[in-house]
Amino acid sequence: MAPAAPISTGTGTIRLAVPIVVGILARKVMLTLFSALLSLLALTLLFEPSSTGPALAVASAIGSFLVALESLIDRRRITALNTQIGELTDRVVTLEGAESRRLAIEVRTKTQDVGRGLSRHPAHLP
């Protein structure tokens, strides 16, 4: 089996930039940061193969930080959504109460009109 042809550094660098560009176009900050981290790690290993251990250690630390940061951002987002859901639930309860009162008044008015012999239908008017 023939050994694989080495990737030229220019082509390799461009290929490593593609995930970063995709993350930017998708407007996903964390995706872009993770792609940049992995691309930087790949470039480090490509140009300096002897630094595999330290490069992996640094990349692991930065990756862990990014994961923690993403979880904090998600927690804030979920808290904000829960707050909005609570506010909307309160508004629905208020609207249900108002609609119930309106309906009770309408029924009471119709009942009083029927009891007096009045009707709102034009067919019953003289």
DSSP 121: S
Summarize pLDDT for 42-101 with one digit per residue, the tens.
Answer: 888 878 888 888 888 888 888 888 888 888 888 999 999 999 999 999 999 999 999 999
What confidence category does residue 122 fall into, taking pLDDT thresholds of 50, 70 and 90?
A: low
Please answer whether residues 39 and 24 qualify as being in contact, where contact means their C-beta atoms are separated by less than 8 angstroms.
Answer: no
Domain boundaries, the chain: 11-116
> Using an 8 Å Cβ cutoff, are 35 and 63 in contact?
no
pLDDT of residue 5: 47
Q: Give burial (CB, 10 Å; 0-12/13-18/19+) of 35.
A: buried
Summarised one tens digit per residue, pLDDT across range 18-38 is 777 777 777 778 888 888 888
Rounded Cα distance, 13 and 105, in Å: 74
pLDDT band for 4, please (50, 70, 90 cuts).
Answer: very low
| Amino acid identity for residue 79 in this structure | T
